[in-house]
Each structure stands twice: as C-alpha cells, then as structure tokens.
Structure 1
Amino acid sequence: MSLYGTYDEANIFARIVRGEMPAVKVFEDDQVLAFMDVFPQSKGHALVISKVSKARNLLEAEQQTVAALAAAAQKLAKAAAAALKPDGVVVTQFNGAPAGQTVFHLHFHVIPRYEGEPLGRHGEGMADIEELKALAAKIAAEL
C-alpha cells in the first residue's frame, strides 16, 4: 500500500482496539495501547498504537496523536530497558509498504536489542503467548 489511501476499519490493530482480537497488553489509557508484538524481532518487541486516530501513518496523523504516541513509546522503552536490561532499544515507525509498513494503522515499534543477537525477520515465527505474557508483566512492573 502506498502512503495515501483509505483507513481500513478491519485492520488487525483496529480489531484489537475494539476487542475483537486478543493482544498481550503492557499498558493502555484512553488514547494509546501498548502490547507485545506476536511476531517479535527480539525479546521484548512491543508496539504502541493509537486507540482513537484513524491515521494510517505518521503523515496522516494529528499532532496530538503523534505527541501521545511518542510519549507512550518513550514510556514503553524506559520500562523495557529497566525490565529486560537490553544493550540498546530501537524505536521505529514505518510509513507505506516500501518503507516496511505491514499494518496500515499508525504505530511505533519498541525493540530491545541485545549485543551479538541479530534481529529476527518481522512476520516470521509467532511467539509463544505465555512467554509474551511473562515479558509484558515484567515490563509493566517497571511502569
């Protein structure tokens, strides 16, 4: 998909926000939801999404949405760093399929990085849900 288009109410993240699909939640408020990525690139890979915006990407987002998501991504990165003790943390966001975006609902990735461990390919190998729940609890305990 390109940078421009129509928001799809049936996308997986919209369905998670509406409670139609499960997610291993780390935290949420009235604006944002942070949850574990089920196809993680690294131990502790989580996502931050807007619960209210229909923006497909950063270019379409309202400034207040960007501000709320950025603050939540920082909060999640700090908690993941404290809980998991990674050597680094990647915070990233993709816009359009050629840039790597696969779900067209504005979101940020927070990916702990560990020295000597390469990133996995996103979308390959679904994580064990019980392991994700344990990681989410560990991260949430640092909030």
Structure 2
Amino acid sequence: MILPLIAVTLQAAPLVCPPQRPYDPANPFARILRGEAPASRIAETADMIAIVPIDWTHPGHALVIPRRAVRTLDDMTAEEMVHALELARRVAAAQRLVFGATGYSIQQNNGRAQHVCHVHFHVIPNTPAAPAGAKTKEQMDTIATALRGAMAAAAQASGTP
C-alpha cells in the first residue's frame, strides 16, 4: 500500500519496458539469439549466453541472457535463474583471471531502468573504469576471447565442461 503523502510527492518516471507490455521479438537480444545481429560471445549453454555489451565502462563487463523469450525475472523458471547465476559466477571467475578484478556486481532490472525488454544480468567487475565513448567491435571481441579462454582454462583445470 502506498501512503497518500508519498503518492502525492513522488511521481514514477515512465518505464521503457513496462512489465505489462508483450514481449517484442524485435528487441536486440532476441535478434542476437536468432543470429540476426552480431555479438561478442563469451559463453553459451543450453539455455543461456554471455556476451560483451556494446556499452560498458568497466573492462570485462558481461551480460548473461536467457535463450528463451522472457521479459522479466518474474517470467523465468527457477531452473533458468539458477543457470543464469551459475554462468554469471563463471564469468566473474574469468574476470578475476583476465582483468585482476577482486569483486563484481550483478545488476538485473525489471521494468525500472531496463532498456532492453528481455531479461538479462549484468556481471560488472570492479575493474578501473575505461574512458567514456563508443567501444569498437574489435575491443569487444578481444574481451570476449580473453574471458572465453579463461573460462575454458578454469573448466579444464577443474575437470568440468
């Protein structure tokens, strides 16, 4: 219940991805998943992918995205949530190896501050911020290749796929 005083003084900003809006199969992540748009892929599982986002400030920043068309966390199954966080943890381990990150944040938005209307998890290492400005495909691919290699080396060392 919203208190009347709060309701009067606070105005919610319009949402880019309101939860009641139907899933848009033309969103950027849906296009990447169908192979219609390029992406610097870090890792892929049966139900998730990890990519380098086009707009990042901390080198190593990654997105974990379900393959299934889901708008918000509320639309994910419990199993998908576990798989997303397992992949995020593996990406974070690679961020430590490649970039020397000593920590990371996982950010996930549902309507509020969500700009692509397909659920996704930001895995943001605590690396020093890079200069502002557009990142090149070559920079993104270099990061993806390095993280992919670190994940493969870690899997081989632990004996996991």
Give the TM-score taking structure 2 as reference length: 0.77
- Hey, what does 1:31 align to over in structure 2? 47
Matches for 1:1-40 after TM superposition, within 5 Å: 1-40=17-56
| CA displacement, residues 14-47 of structure 1 (integer Å, 9 cap, x when unaligned) | 0000000000011112211111011112111110
Give how far 1:127 is off. Answer: 0.9
Distance 1:125 1:119 in 2: 9
- Hey, what does 2:106 align to over in structure 1? 91
Which structure's residues are more often helix, by fraction? 2
Amino acid at match of 1:20: E
Distance 2:136 2:47 in 1: 28
- Hey, what does 2:3 align to over in structure 1? none
Match of 2:80 among 44, 65, 74: 65
Consecutive aligned runs of 4 or more in structure 1 exceeding 2 Å deviation: 117-120
CA gap of 1:91–1:119, structure 2 versus 1, over 3 A, is: farther
Q: Does 1:77 align with 2:92?
A: yes
- Hey, what does 2:126 align to over in structure 1? 113
Give how far 1:119 is off. Answer: 8.2
Contact 2:31/2:37 (8 A) holds in 1: yes
Distance 1:9 1:83 in 2: 34
Matches for 1:37-48 after TM superposition, within 5 Å: 37-48=53-64
Equivalent pairs, count: 135
Distance 1:71 1:87 in 2: 18
Give how far 1:126 is off. Answer: 2.6
SS of residue in 2 equivalent to 1:39: coil
SS of residue in 2 equivalent to 1:142: helix
Of the structure 1 ranges 42-51 and 12-21, higher mean CA displacement relative to structure 2 is found in: 42-51
SS of residue in 1 equivalent to 2:58: coil
SS of residue in 1 equivalent to 2:150: coil
Q: Which runs of 5+ in 2 are unaligned?
A: 1-16, 152-161
Give the TM-score taking structure 1 as reference length: 0.86
Please report the RMSD computed on the Cα atoms of aligned residues, expressed in angstroms: 1.8
Distance 1:80 1:63 in 2: 26
Q: Which runs of 5+ in 1 are unaligned?
A: none
Amino acid at match of 1:141: G
Distance 2:20 2:83 in 1: 22
- Hey, what does 1:139 align to over in structure 2? 147
Bigger radius of gyration: 2
